[in-house]
Amino acid sequence: MRRILIIIGGGLSIVVIGIAIIFAVLNNPGLQRTILRVSNINASLANGANTGVKAAAPAVSPDRVEVQYVSRNFAEVFGSTSTQNHYGNLVESEQWCSKAFSSFLDRQVAQLRQSGTAPSSQTTVTKALVMKITLLKGTNAGVTVSTSRQETTASGTKSFTQDLLLELVKENGHWRINAAAWKPI
């Protein structure tokens, strides 16, 4: 019986000491900073000792950010269609287009509206998943946008992924879509 009491007393002592250490760390900001300064990156010095170093965040250029932003928004609007909106997605996507590509889309919309050969009720919703910049040099950029698309017709719904290949140009200080083509499924 005495042995059990000693074991229980020792266990309780360890728990109390552990709790005291936790409270001491929580109430001492200097000690917290020291403990939390541990880095996950090791740097080997000439003498073989490892020391923690802070990892510098990679610099992201404003051009990369804008190219991805324009590509994502264009892909989602350009790829989301409905026979009910009379090619409105193409008109709406022109806000991200170069002057030349905007003129091309205007001609396409005029031809499509004039032909009047829209399929029966059909809707496609497109969500951009990944924007992979394949070229970013000077005033030219290339991006492959991987998309998830859901097409709904009278016969049912079909979900699939499809890549949109984009060429961008920097026009008046802003990145604009200059060409777009769906990669065949």
Taking only the tens place, the pLDDT of each residue in 95-131 is 999 999 999 999 999 998 888 766 678 899 999 999 9
Question: Which pLDDT belongs to residue 81?
Answer: 92
Q: What architecture does CATH give domain 63-182?
A: Roll (3.10)
pTM of the model: 0.68
Q: Cβ contacts of residue 78 below 8 Å, gap of 6+?
A: 89, 90, 93, 126, 164, 180
User: How is the chain split into domains, by residue range?
Assistant: 1-33, 63-182
Whether 26 shows a pLDDT value over 90: the answer reads no
The DSSP bridge pattern shows strands 174-182 and 156-171 to be antiparallel
The C-alpha atoms of residue 149 and residue 152 are separated, in whole angstroms, by 10
The C-alpha atoms of residue 107 and residue 118 are separated, in whole angstroms, by 16
Residue 124, φ and ψ in degrees, nearest 5: -125, 125
Read off the pLDDT of residues 43-86 as tens digits, 9 standing for 90 and up.
Answer: 555 555 555 556 667 778 999 999 999 999 999 999 999 888 88
Helix (H) or strand (E) holding 161, with range, is strand 156-171
Largest CA distance in the chain: 99
Selection from 88, 92, 116 nearest residue 102 by Cα: 92
Read off the pLDDT of residues 78-101 as tens digits, 9 standing for 90 and up.
Answer: 999 988 888 899 999 999 999 999
